[in-house]
Structure 1
Amino acid sequence: MKNLNLVYSLAGLSALATTASSCQQNKSDVKKSYNIVYIMTDDHTAQMMSCYDTRYMETPNLDRIAADGVRFTNSFVANSLSGPSRACIITGKHSCGNKFYDNTTCVFDGTQQTFPKLLQKAGYQTALIGKWHLESLPTGFDYWEILPGQGDYYNPDFITQNNDTIQKHGYITNLITDDAIDWMENKRDKNKPFCLMIHHKAIHRNWMADTCNLALYEDKTFPLPETFFDDYEGRPAAVAQEMSIVKDMDMIYDLKMLRPDKDSRLKTLYESFLGRMDKEQRAAWDRFYGPIIEDFYKKNPQGKELANWKFQRYMRDYMKTVKSLDDNVGRVLDYLKEKGLLDNTLVVYTSDQGFYMGEHGWFDKRFMYEESMHTPLIMRLPKGFNRRGDITELVQNIDYAPTFLELAGVKVPEDMHGVSLLPLLKGEHPANWRNALYYHFYEYPAEHMVKRHYGIRTKRYKLIHFYNDIDEWELYDLQKDPNELHNLYGQSDYDSIVTDLKRQLLELQEKYNDPVRFSPNRDKE
């Protein structure tokens, strides 16, 4: 009961304090500590969730989470890349603290402190199912079953706790959800609180939808984003990227235009994906894409017509992959409701980062610009938390770990960089809440060739320093220029703003002990 009372006090549930009579109740009748169901997708951006943006598609099950809880409107990541973002989440620390900087050179040190380990010590059962992407095997989990690397959309392999690799038949989003529900129903100790992390491969490139959804959205035509043909004036790092829909999106791998007489850089990889399909799956795939392939090569679009064609196919394939994800989130919510778990469970949905849906002409992420630094974050709150609607405070993915710990009544370690969101979930607006966020991206040179950079974001301004083989600063007034098209750095009218932002930036680098710091005197590394 000691742990119960601590949780109640944290949640402000004084009306439910333990009484002498309640102590005499059967164990099954006693209210347990809060459960946590943490659902995370890969590369799912807020533009493609109708609780954030109604321009493109409906996501009714994700919207259920927001409608029954809260939507964070200023939610951001610390490093917009899959593995580093996951390391930030599980440790509550920036990349400089958890030492997992990028996807190409790092292996996560599983001996370090993580929130699942701390929950375990507090009596929680912990489980991880789906994408891990941290190179080492998971630690701190009573149960886990993970995808090797990025995983496959069709008939994927899973690595089990026995260190066996097994293949399962079906579509990956369904399979991960099946396993998650099976663990809750059949494999956990129902006398203990639990933290279940459901980590999906979706909506990661190359956006291969379930066969039952292939025909969806084909009647939709999407307007090109207003920045689609951005010329990147005054932004040399943006010029150097290789994530352009027009130039870099692979016709075969990304857009499925496979024909024997055509070749592309990633054709072989795409063919290996198709090779995992069974006869019926492949037949359904070919029935759908065959006519599109024939029509495309017959018409042979060029120039802006080709650019628009690629954008439309990208949007449709992405949305179809989201549709399966949304359906499966609904399955989890329905299970929790059916089993009477919703009142005692915090349900969190987020992505490992944002994504470009044609803004600036791009797909992918990495940059500190809004579409990739911003990430969706919605929470369905357990009984006793009455906050509803939007939360506008600046929050970051390093905050999830301390939030889960405080909810469970576990002391948040002082070396965690994040802060608990629990006060916000209780409707408070702390006067000392942070007014700036720190960001640092390290993976260069690598896929998409986004330069290394760090920076600071306040509610109005963003200051970025691109470094390593480049030395460029960028400043944006997000109120006047939300599309981040006009670099204001070097304009005398903003000198005092730059001076203040650099002061705050250096304070954050020192606070988080990031060894990569600029020199205030030289503006250089």
Structure 2
Amino acid sequence: MKALQTLPLALLCLLAPATSHAEDKRPNILFLFSDDHALQSISAYGGRLKDIAPTPNIDRLAKEGAIFENSFCANSICGPSRACIMTGKHSHKNGFMRNGNVFDGSQPTFPKMLRKSGYQTAVIGKWHLESDPTGFDYWEILPGQGSYYNPDFIQMDGSKKRFPGYCTDLVTDHAIQWLDKRDKTKPFMLMCQHKAPHRNWAPAPRHLTLFDDVEIPEPKTLRDDYSGRSAWLKKNEMTLAEHFHWQHDLKLHGKSIVPNKIMDGMLNGEYMRMTREQKNKWDAAYGPKNKPFIAALKAKTLSDDEILKWKYQRYIKDYLRCIRAVDENIGRMLDYLEKNGLAENTIVIYSSDQGFYLGEHGWYDKRWMFEESLKMPFLIRWPGVVKSGTRPQEMIQNIDYAPTFLEIAGVEIPKDIQGSSLVPVLKGKTPADWRKDIYYAYYMNPGTHNVPRHDGVRTDRYKIFYLPQSKEWQMFDLKKDPLELRSVHDDASYAETFKEMKALYAERRAHFEGILK
């Protein structure tokens, strides 16, 4: 009788998700994420900024794990990229195609599946998906884009709480507090997500004078004339030369004294929310730097090119100052894992929602399928699995993150997920049929910065995309033209390649059931 009475309990144990000792040994997942972090500003990736503005803590992940050289986003814009990560699907499949959409939190996401399998899940920091997070045991998120100074955090009961200090530091503070208080009998998956280095690039008080004594090298294409490519490039509204605002971007007070050269219209909202002490530090740092520039503008002694040079230095230094705080706080998280005996059984990923233009093609922002925007950082440390110091060349996308996390946790990957698990690649056993190209689609327009809708395919050498509004193709030979200065779609010597790339484009659109029109 006793054996019969215990049978239902035994059956229940077999049927229930495994949450016992064996499952507790599954690795923790720490997903460190930022906004608009360009590869050019991560020293482990190389480039013109590596010696001027090193990122030693992010570089630790490259040295102790892997740094992917060919990591790409599926849609280069903040909210859609995050939705791709959550679902493992392209934007037209997860329903979040443009900033301003509302994410359907009822759909399957990897945090929901991890939580169901026994993981404790949390997201802290920038969310930007409009609806409340689902699938998390704990969440605390910034409203919209969030603020750098004295930010508000939305709580799980819907209320907002304002915290004094600097956002990048506070996101890390709150993440560490959650780690301290979590249920330590379960593995965790924590998404620690920073606002920085999103526009308007407001540095922490401790970094306001960083790089003041340095002249940052300009990108070769800062003065791109946009010839040899679509006329759409000249219509974009994201140039340093014409589309920076006096207060918001350039940190100047009052009204523009040269409105025909530097626009008014956007206030510096960060300055407006600062405390008196914060404002005093800000003014002490920026005042002396602004004074000679304003005097020269009043005296009309600066050429347009000299104004552009000043704008670039102001922009890139503020951007890199924001990166410095991100890097410092990545270091804080890595140190926390070490001090609390978690490093060996915690997978750490660092990524960002897309790349960013740091003056390349004369631009800031993202959106276009050009390399600086399309490429996104992906670094991963997985002790005992990922070989230290490796630089995988496989082409990966942010739709791959969800299936990767699921396989790591031993959770079955749903058949409708469009990405592929990176686990075999991370173990050094790349499948023979691993992708040789990636598909990209951008859906906004009309919209901010006037970048047109387009979708396309990138291989190891060629890139092709289509602009439906002008019924126009663009194709680039990345080997001969890495700066993407001339489209060869109508070059007779590329006729056969153009035909092949159009066929590949049609094949990938059909495979992913693309809907761009």
TM-score by length of structure 2 reads 0.92
Structure 2 residue matching 1:294: 3-state secondary structure = helix
Structure 1 residue matching 2:79: 3-state secondary structure = helix
AA of the residue aligned to 2:358? M
Percent identity of paired positions between Structure 1 and Structure 2: 47
- Whole-angstrom distance in 2 between the partners of 1:72 and 1:247: 35
What do residues 192-239 of structure 1 show as CA deviations (whole Å, max 9, x unaligned)?
Answer: 011000110000001000011101101111222111111111321211
Structure 2 residue matching 1:189: 3-state secondary structure = coil
User: How big is the shift at 1:387?
Assistant: 5.6
AA of the residue aligned to 2:483? N
Q: Is the 8 A contact 1:124 1:192 kept in 2?
A: yes
User: How big is the shift at 1:30?
Assistant: 9.2
Q: Is the 8 A contact 2:440 2:455 kept in 1?
A: yes
Residues 1:97 and 2:85 are matched in the alignment: no
User: How big is the shift at 1:160?
Assistant: 0.6
- Whole-angstrom distance in 1 between the partners of 2:472 and 2:152: 43
Q: Is the 8 A contact 2:43 2:54 kept in 1?
A: yes
| Range with bigger deviation, 476-485 or 270-279 | 270-279
AA of the residue aligned to 2:408? L
Residues 1:211 and 2:212 are matched in the alignment: no
Query: In 2 relative to 1, CA 386–438 (structure 1 residues): closer, same or farther, beyond 3 Å?
Result: same
2:5 aligned residue: none
Residues 1:230 and 2:231 are matched in the alignment: no
Residues 1:493 and 2:493 are matched in the alignment: yes
Residues 1:280 and 2:305 are matched in the alignment: no
1:153-192 correspondence to structure 2 within 5 Å: 153-186=148-181, 188-192=182-186
Name which of 241, 248, 258 aligns with 2:243: 248
Name which of 45, 51, 72 aligns with 2:38: 45
Residues 1:59 and 2:55 are matched in the alignment: yes
1:286-305 correspondence to structure 2 within 5 Å: 286-300=283-297, 301-305=302-306
- Whole-angstrom distance in 2 between the partners of 1:296 and 1:266: 16
1:16 aligned residue: none
1:263-278 correspondence to structure 2 within 5 Å: 269-278=266-275
TM-score by length of structure 1 reads 0.91
Query: In 2 relative to 1, CA 491–196 (structure 1 residues): closer, same or farther, beyond 3 Å?
Result: same
- Whole-angstrom distance in 2 between the partners of 1:69 and 1:162: 38
User: How big is the shift at 1:466?
Assistant: 1.0
Equivalent residues, number: 494
Name which of 74, 84, 87 aligns with 1:88: 84
User: How big is the shift at 1:339?
Assistant: 0.7
1:483 aligned residue: 483
Residues 1:149 and 2:150 are matched in the alignment: no
What do residues 333-389 of structure 1 show as CA deviations (whole Å, max 9, x unaligned)?
Answer: 000011111111110001100000111111100000000000111111133443641
Query: In 2 relative to 1, CA 322–261 (structure 1 residues): closer, same or farther, beyond 3 Å?
Result: closer
Query: In 2 relative to 1, CA 324–387 (structure 1 residues): closer, same or farther, beyond 3 Å?
Result: closer
Q: Is the 8 A contact 2:109 2:135 kept in 1?
A: yes
Q: Is the 8 A contact 1:77 1:373 kept in 2?
A: yes
Q: Is the 8 A contact 1:42 1:82 kept in 2?
A: yes
- Whole-angstrom distance in 1 between the partners of 2:382 and 2:263: 43
User: How big is the shift at 1:503?
Assistant: 1.5
- Whole-angstrom distance in 1 between the partners of 2:253 and 2:471: 41
Structure 1 residue matching 2:44: 3-state secondary structure = coil
Structure 2 residue matching 1:270: 3-state secondary structure = coil
User: How big is the shift at 1:140?
Assistant: 0.6
| Range with bigger deviation, 386-395 or 78-87 | 386-395
Residues 1:72 and 2:73 are matched in the alignment: no
Structure 1 residue matching 2:31: 3-state secondary structure = strand
1:466 aligned residue: 467
Query: In 2 relative to 1, CA 478–401 (structure 1 residues): closer, same or farther, beyond 3 Å?
Result: same
Two-structure CA RMSD over aligned residues (Å): 2.1
1:357-436 correspondence to structure 2 within 5 Å: 357-386=358-387, 388-436=389-437
AA of the residue aligned to 2:216? F
AA of the residue aligned to 2:214? K
1:505 aligned residue: 505
Consecutive unaligned residues of structure 1, counting only runs of 5 or more, are: 8-22, 517-524
User: How big is the shift at 1:136?
Assistant: 0.8
Structure 1 residue matching 2:29: 3-state secondary structure = strand
